[in-house]
Structure 1
């Protein structure tokens, strides 16, 4: 695997881990405080942001390449 591809794969793996961690955090908060809790909603918005980054960076990259 060439250097650039390795960096892209490492970035993808790190982002997927952030997404998984944020999803777990959101579920934990929702189970403790409720789905409409401000903290749950904020965490959900952060997760949405991470998912948007993933889509822009990797889904569209795959479609174009």
Structure 2
């Protein structure tokens, strides 16, 4: 199972009328991620994986 911690979120996406659809996760959440997908980004020595809100499979609660 792939999981990760959310370190940042964007403002959300826009619907057909231009209204913002908020993101379903928040910073600090632990989420289930698909085996494939996402975009790998390296900033300095750290690697991050970017996922669209629709790609996140769920949120884990402890």
Shorter chain as normaliser: what TM range? under 0.3
Larger Rg: 1
Higher share in strand = 2
Question: TM (normalized to structure 2)?
Answer: 0.21
Higher share in helix = 1
Question: TM (normalized to structure 1)?
Answer: 0.20
